[in-house]
Structure 1
Amino acid sequence: MSYTELQSSLQEQHLDIFGAFHPTPQDQAPEGCKTLLLIGPYKPGFWGTFKASPEFSDGLPDPLDRWSKRIITPWATARNSTALFPSNGPPYAPFLDWAQSGRAWVSPVGMLVHDLAGLFISYRAAIALPVKITLPHTGPNTCDSCDARPCLAACPVDALSDTYDVSTCEAYLNTPNGRDCMETGCLVRRTCPAGHNYARLPEQSAFHMAAFNP
């Protein structure tokens, strides 16, 4: 199996490789893992595929997590690999640490920023491969070339100025002015230049915001 073959197969499921690395014992990958792939949504088409799934409309909790497990688990099993999910735990797999091993970095506002998805980055799963495959070269931190850094001034209530002030953020979202973030996505995430070409629909952002602030 090659990186290109794995990526192409995942994209057929409207998923993509958002990072990959060869773990060391300190990375806390599953035993026998020689390559770890981080899986995210492939655009366009991801949201439409999920909306057409039974999980989206069955009214049960955690529809996107359940869809991810139904699609990704057999894909991994067919390749003698192990699928790991952010929602499984405790103990939880160290996805934030894994993400910083390739194509994502800590942004000026503390959230992870991805070279393709910007601040809209999300990980549906990780795949632990039992073989070491050749990985493509990764570029520099996307924030290093961003002089404007609009994310720093974007939050209307300055909830990300130091650490993430969750209570201030939630209080703002429950006001009339907060409807913009609730219905089209976090304003800070939307200002990130790195994610401007990542076609995340307002409807998809609203789905995630509703899960965060029901």
Structure 2
Amino acid sequence: MMGGPSSISREIETGLGPSGILIRGTVDFAMGEGPLLADGTNAASVVLLGNAGGSIWPAFSRWKAGYDGPDPLDTWSKEIIHPLAERLGGTAYFPSDPPWQPFQQWAMRAERLKPSPLGILIHPDYGLWHGYRGAIGFVQRLDDASASSITGRRHACDHCPAKPCLSTCPVSAIRPDPQNFAVSACRSHLLTLSGQGACMVSGCLARNACPVGEQYRYLSAQLEFHMHALR
């Protein structure tokens, strides 16, 4: 089924409503630039889908209670997004599946976001408490203006003089340049008694220290879930 841009957006919002997955912006591509659709042609537009704060946690945690397989969050996301994409005549893409799609680049184009020192894209409202669960590509250009409300707003890190994320990490894994994030130091710390008693239970200390979007901070159960997935 295909309709106009507003019709497609309404269908997506209606289909995803119970899950808490949200439309996180749209990327429109020049001819031949977009990812391949199922029919081998290039997408003209991609709609990014994800969470803001704990929007997905109630629905996902209920589903997870009856699931005993691998990669629960990826599996749940696919169970919701795949059928919707098929119904709309689009193609679904996921961060966990090859061919790897440039989700971070899409997000920077769709919502004008930039990386934080942790490497996570920081949103002016949600801070570090958001994510991308998938995307749907369409043959038609949607010309979406969803990023207009945050376009031109200053990068949150640029007007954060204290930068507590840089000083809170107990192993100094966080650096001003996100490309220098010390992944091995972070992972090694998570295996220690100190890491098990702090970050693994309450979430990354540096991430928690960020003052942007505090009201969207994940609940403790959601923090612990993501930390165990990172380990």
Q: TM-score range by the shorter chain?
A: 0.7 to 0.9
Task: State the match for 2:28 in structure 1.
Answer: 22
Within a 5 Å distance, the mapping from 1:74-113 to structure 2 comes to: 74-89=83-98, 91-103=99-111, 104-113=113-122
Secondary structure of the 1:122 match is strand
The alpha-carbon deviation at position 199 of structure 1 amounts to 4.2
Q: 1:207 to 1:71 in 2, by over 3 A?
A: same
Paired letter, 1:87? S
Q: How far apart are the structure 2 equivalents of 1:27 and 1:116?
A: 30
Between stretches 22-31 and 175-184, larger displacement belongs to 22-31
Is 1:155 the equivalent of 2:169?
A: yes
Secondary structure (helix, strand or coil) at the match of 1:123 reads: strand
- Cα deviation 1:142-167 (Å, max 9, x = unaligned): 33333332222221111122512222
* Counterpart in the other structure of 2:47: 37
User: Greater CA deviation, 193-202 or 38-47?
Assistant: 38-47
Helix, strand or coil: the match of 1:12? helix
Structure 2 CA distance for aligned equivalents of residues 115 and 6 of structure 1 = 27
Unaligned runs of 5+ in 2: none
TM-score, normalised with respect to structure 1: 0.86
Q: Supply the AA of the counterpart residue of 1:131.
A: Q
Q: Deviations 1:116-164 (Å, cap 9, x if unpaired)?
A: 4322332110111233223231332333333332222221111122512
Structure 1 counterpart of 2:214, one-letter code: H
- Counterpart check, 1:166 vs 2:183: yes
- Scaled by the length of structure 2, what TM-score is found? 0.80
Q: Is the 8 A contact 1:150 1:192 kept in 2?
A: yes
Q: Relative to 1, partners in 2 of residues 1:94 and 1:67: Cα closer, same or farther, differing over 3 Å?
A: same
Structure possessing the higher radius of gyration over alpha carbons: 2
Residues 1:71 and 1:7: Cα distance change in structure 2 (over 3 Å):
closer
What is the alpha-carbon root mean square deviation over aligned residues? 2.3
The alignment partner of 1:124 has SS state of strand
Shift of 1:56: 4.6
**What amino acid maps onto 1:69 in structure 2?**
K
**Which whole-Å deviations, capped at 9, do the CAs of 1:147-204 have from their partners, x for residues lacking one?**
3322222211111225122221122112222122111211122122223121411111
Give aligned-pair identity as a percent: 36
- Pick which of 185-194 and 102-111 moved more: 102-111
Contact 2:199–2:205 (Cα < 8 Å) also in 1: yes
Which residue is 1:8 aligned to?
Answer: 13
Q: How many residues end up aligned between the 2 structures?
A: 211
Letter in 2 for 1:177: S
Is the 1:107–1:143 Cα contact (8 Å) retained in structure 2? yes
CA distance in 2, matches of 1:203, 1:145: 31
User: Are 1:86 and 1:93, in contact at CA under 8 Å, matched by a contact in 2?
Assistant: yes
Unaligned runs of 5+ in 1: none
In the superposition, relative to structure 1, how do residues 27 and 168 fare at CA in structure 2: closer, same or farther (>3 Å)? farther
Q: Is the 8 A contact 1:21 1:135 kept in 2?
A: no
* Between 80-89 and 125-134, the greater mean CA deviation after superposition: 125-134
